[in-house]
Amino acid sequence: MCERLSALVAVESPSGHSEGLERCYALMQSWGEPLLGRPAEIVEVRGTPHMLWRASGEGGVLLLGHVDTVWPLGTTARRPFRIEGGRAYGPGVFDMKAGLVAAFAALAECRDPAAVSVLITGDEEVGSPTSRALVEDVAGSRGAVLVLEPSQAGAVKTARKGGSFYSIDITGRAAHAGLEPERGVNALLELAAQVLAVSALADPERGTTVTPTVARAGTTTNTVPAQAHLRVDVRAWDLAELTRVDERMHALSSSVPGTAVRVDGTINRPPLEPAGSRELYATARKVAADLGLPELDEVAVGGASDANFTGALGIPTLDGLGPLGDGAHAEHEWADMASLAERALLVAGLLDALTRP
């Protein structure tokens, strides 16, 4: 697993980067084909490739993950894969290439890999715009979904917030800031008003966050800004809250006379409800105990994943089955190598429990 993880991290695979994704898929093809008895299918959707092994027949289990990372090309030259003190470091090692390595190790240990579908996507980190329909289609014929996203300090993820993403474009009118500023319409002032307006849509008591994340305006210091842009990230535990914020976002209007406001975006991922993980979590705890592995805890997290899609379909889904570690999307990202073996055994035991006649 150490050699495989080193090889997979060495191949840079930013979201949607076809060349890098295809090289990762070729590597994993060499691991999976001998186990599953057939080559994977590469499904290309609007230019982004995804990797799929379909199990024959209905039921069975889907192993779900993604190989794309948030790291741009060139990151491995600055921060190559290394192991220190039992920890593996490198871009994407924790989120979630270590989980993929564990998935293939689990397939090697389970009794009937032919009963398992495997789907690895290439755009999860940017909201799964080309893979969502594929995820939902493949998961729809399975009896359960196991997601190899990283654990939360060893705990599996039985609930996730849903998320929405918005872009707000503001149009004003340019003018010379020194000679005749009164002839301009300042889009930056409207942007400031929109930042305060969207922030007020949050509901801390319900755990609903509405976070302005990216903003830009203006061209030169001596010009009244004619254009401004704002991006907003929304997270909530229930669909009703996401719907409330969505309606309010699309009802936003300008407060600075002469400006125009356009809002694009909608609900991206519905919440992963705890009820959809309950039985799978109980099974996973029993498997861990039977194998003498550490006791398995559960956690609810604010981040979303493709588990949100499968859970919303009513398919039993358990997430966070990847290894221990820390620093997803951060420079200090690392994965614990000892837990990689433990997670492979846990997932193999789960596959056996869920596919046994």
Give the sign of the dihedral formed by CA 68, CA 73, CA 75, CA 76: positive
Cα–Cα separations (whole angstroms), residue 287 to 159, 281, 284, 348, 354:
20, 10, 5, 9, 11
* CA 15 – CA 188 distance, rounded (Å): 31
Is residue 125 annotated as a catalytic residue, yes or no?
no
Cα–Cα separations (whole angstroms), residue 345 to 26, 36, 245:
24, 18, 42
Among 12, 22, 123, 124, which one carries the catalytic annotation?
Answer: 124
Residues 6+ apart with CB under 8 A from 283: 350, 353, 354
Q: Which of 61, 76, 242, 215 is nearest to 138 (CA)?
A: 61
Q: Under the phi-then-psi rule, with left for phi > 0, alpha for psi from -120 to 50, and beta for the rest, what region is 137?
A: alpha
For residue 135, what are its two tokens?
């995820």
Among 12, 22, 68, 246, which one carries the catalytic annotation?
Answer: 68
Is residue 149 annotated as a catalytic residue, yes or no?
no
Residue type, 337: M
Cα–Cα separations (whole angstroms), residue 194 to 81, 165, 188, 203, 323:
42, 15, 10, 17, 40
Q: Name the phi and psi angles at 91, rounded to 5.
A: -65, 120
Cα–Cα separations (whole angstroms), residue 79 to 93, 136, 327:
11, 35, 14
* Catalytic residue list: 68, 124
